Amino acid sequence: MTDRRPILFFDSGMGGLSVLAPTAKLLPRAPLVYVADSAGFPYGTRSEAEIAARVPALLGRLAERYDPRLIVIACNTASTIALQHVRAALDVPIVGTVPAIKPAAELSRTRVIGVLGTEATVRQPYVADLAARFAGDCTVIRHGSAELVELAEAALGGARPSIASVRDALAGLMAQDRAGEIDVIVNACTHFPLLEDELVSATDGKIRFIDGGAGIARRVAYLTEGQEWPAALPGRAVFTERNARTESLAAALARFGLNEIETL
């Protein structure tokens, strides 16, 4: 029989769509399930202990329900905190999301780079370790922004933010010492590529923004190389809680090929 097992993408909200989209381009026949933990959103303001307990438990339920061939934790916060716990708990290939500090360092000419994520992500020792290993000759300036996450969610629902509001959300990064020398910023939250146009405009086109979406898509394609794919199946979006925010996203989800919506 044809293997109908999906690739499952997991995030606290809609940011993981920036990872799903390049994966769908590389693997157009792959069945896709996108899960947003709307009941736990946003992760960036939660404690490490909450995330470390919540994510493996949720993914265990999801693995049992959808029998995925591979899981992508399309969330930097969940990956930096819970990835090792998920891998220990599940007998399914797991791909995490790593801040793209290495390619940022390779691109930077000023040797000053920014890391823009959630508060929970940017304070992780894992991020400091990546900076030490791959950007040791760079000044790495970190900043967490819950505001940008909310702006990205609203933008997906059709409410594009003003450039001034995005510039305000970046103020905590750009006010730090040597921030005027930044030439590359790592979008260390999968939500932020959804605001790429606004981020570029808010920095007057002088800074390059990069993320790991394309690299994760290539990793998924490599890990599933040679596997059988079914005839086209509808993409599925799953929420842990339905609310006014989730109900407003049906049209946006359909643009990503996610035409069926369920509640876990």
Give me the helix-helix angle, 48-66 and 76-89, nearest 10°: 60
Q: In which element (H, E) is residue 72 found?
A: strand 70-73
The one catalytic residue in 7, 86, 186, 189 is 189
User: What beta strand segments (E) does the chain contain?
Assistant: 7-11, 32-36, 70-73, 94-95, 112-117, 139-144, 184-187, 208-210, 235-239, 258-263
What's the full length of the chain, in residues? Answer: 264
| Residue 138 is among the residues annotated as catalytic for this protein | no
| Residue 75 is among the residues annotated as catalytic for this protein | yes
What's the burial of 102, exposed, middle or buried (CB within 10 Å: 0-12/13-18/19+)? middle
The one catalytic residue in 55, 75, 116, 217 is 75
Catalytic residues: 75, 189
